[in-house]
Amino acid sequence: MTIPLPKASERIHVAELLQELIRFDTTNPPGNERECAVHCQEALSRAGISSNLIGDDPNRVNLISRLRGDGKAPPLLLYGHIDVVPTAAQPWDVPPFEGRLLDGYVWGRGALDMKGGVAMMMDAFVRAHLEGVNLPGDVILALVSDEEAGGHTGAAWLTDAHPELFEGARYAVGEFGGFSKSYRGRKFYMVQVAEKQGCRVEAIARGPGGHGSLVHHDTAPTRMAEFLVKLDRTALPFHIHPVTRMMVEAMSNTLPLPDSAFLKLLLNPALTGSMLRRMGPVGKEMEPLFRHTANATIINGGEKANVIPSEVTVNLDCRMLPGYDAEDLLGELQAIAGPAIELRAVNFQPKPWIFNMGMFDTLAGIISEQDPDAVSAPMLMPAGTDGRHFAQLGIQTYGWMPMNLPAEFDFLKTIHAANERVPVSALEFGAEALYRLLQRFHE
Ligand SMILES: [Zn+2]
CATH number at residue 243: 3.30.70.360
pLDDT greater than 60 at residue 3: no
Residue 380: inside a domain: no
Domain identity same for 201 and 166: no
> In angstroms, rounded to a whole number, what is the distance separating the alpha carbons of residues 65 and 21?
18
Domain identity same for 430 and 308: no
Residue 354 burial (CB count, 10 A) = 19
For 260-306, the pLDDT digits (tens) are 999 999 999 999 999 999 999 889 999 999 999 999 999 999 999 99
Ligand 1 mean position, distance from CA 233 (Å) = 31
pLDDT greater than 70 at residue 5: no
> In angstroms, rounded to a whole number, what is the distance separating the alpha carbons of residues 165 and 175?
20
Ligand 1 mean position, distance from CA 184 (Å) = 27
Higher pLDDT, 201 or 349: 201
Ligand 1 mean position, distance from CA 293 (Å) = 20
Domain identity same for 205 and 267: yes
Ligand 1 mean position, distance from CA 77 (Å) = 17
Q: Which of 386, 394, 241, 399 is nearest to 323 (CA)?
A: 241
- Domain end call among 346, 366, 395: 346
| DSSP per-residue letters across 169-221 | --EEEESS--BEEEETTEEEEEEEEEE-EEEEEEEEEE---EETTS---S-HH
Ligand 1 mean position, distance from CA 159 (Å) = 18
pLDDT value at residue 231: 98
Residue 412: inside a domain: yes
For 75-107, the pLDDT digits (tens) are 999 999 999 999 999 999 999 999 999 999 999
pLDDT value at residue 7: 55
Residue 265: inside a domain: yes
Domain identity same for 301 and 259: yes
Residue 354: pLDDT band (50, 70, 90) is confident
Ligand 1 mean position, distance from CA 199 (Å) = 19
Ligand 1 mean position, distance from CA 385 (Å) = 7
Ligand 1 mean position, distance from CA 296 (Å) = 23
Residue 153: inside a domain: yes
For 311-348, the pLDDT digits (tens) are 999 999 999 999 999 999 999 999 999 999 999 999 78
Domain identity same for 170 and 296: no
- Domain end call among 326, 346, 366: 346
Residue 379: inside a domain: no
Ligand 1 mean position, distance from CA 33 (Å) = 14
For 149-177, the pLDDT digits (tens) are 999 999 999 999 999 999 999 999 999 99
Residue 12: inside a domain: yes
pLDDT value at residue 392: 92
CATH number at residue 31: 3.40.630.10
Ligand 1 mean position, distance from CA 13 (Å) = 22
Q: What is the CA radius of gyration of the chain?
A: 24
Instruction: Classify each residue of 389-426 as buried b or exposed e, where b means 16 or more C-beta atoms within 10 Å of its C-beta.
Output: bbbebebbbbbbbbbbbeeebebeebbbbebbbbbbeb
| DSSP per-residue letters across 25-61 | --BTTT---HHHHHHHHHHHHHTT--EEEE-SSTTS-
pLDDT greater than 70 at residue 9: no
Residue 366: inside a domain: no
Ligand 1 mean position, distance from CA 82 (Å) = 9
Domain identity same for 138 and 231: no
Ligand 1 mean position, distance from CA 113 (Å) = 4
Residue 1: inside a domain: no
Q: pTM surpassing 0.75? A: yes
Burial class for 317, CB neighbours closer than 10 Å (0-12, 13-18, 19+): middle
For 287-296, the pLDDT digits (tens) are 999 999 999 9
pLDDT greater than 60 at residue 32: yes
- Do the Cβ atoms of 10 and 130 come closer than 8 Å? yes
Domain identity same for 134 and 58: yes
For the chain, the average pLDDT equals 95
Domain identity same for 31 and 122: yes
Ligand 1 mean position, distance from CA 175 (Å) = 6
Do the strands 197-206 and 180-183 form a parallel or antiparallel pair, or are they unpaired?
unpaired
Specify the length of the chain in residues: 443
Residue 1: pLDDT band (50, 70, 90) is very low
Ligand 1 mean position, distance from CA 115 (Å) = 9
Domain identity same for 397 and 297: no
For 413-433, the pLDDT digits (tens) are 899 999 999 999 999 999 999
- Report the run of H or E that residue 412 belongs to, with start and end: helix 411-414
Domain identity same for 227 and 282: yes
- Report the run of H or E that residue 248 belongs to, with start and end: helix 242-252
**CA 6: distance to chain centroid?**
35
Do the strands 341-346 and 197-206 form a parallel or antiparallel pair, or are they unpaired?
antiparallel
Ligand 1 mean position, distance from CA 114 (Å) = 5
Residue 264 structural domain: 197-346
Bridge partners (DSSP) of residue 307 are 211
Ligand 1 mean position, distance from CA 397 (Å) = 14
pLDDT greater than 60 at residue 114: yes
- Domain end call among 288, 317, 346: 346
Domain identity same for 169 and 214: no
Ligand 1 mean position, distance from CA 284 (Å) = 22
> In angstroms, rounded to a whole number, what is the distance separating the alpha carbons of residues 74 and 63?
21
- Do the Cβ atoms of 231 and 318 come closer than 8 Å? no
- Percent of the chain past pLDDT 70, that is, above it, reads 98
Ligand 1 mean position, distance from CA 392 (Å) = 19
pLDDT greater than 70 at residue 2: no
Domain count, the chain: 2
Classified as helix, coil or strand, 71 is: coil
Domain identity same for 172 and 211: no
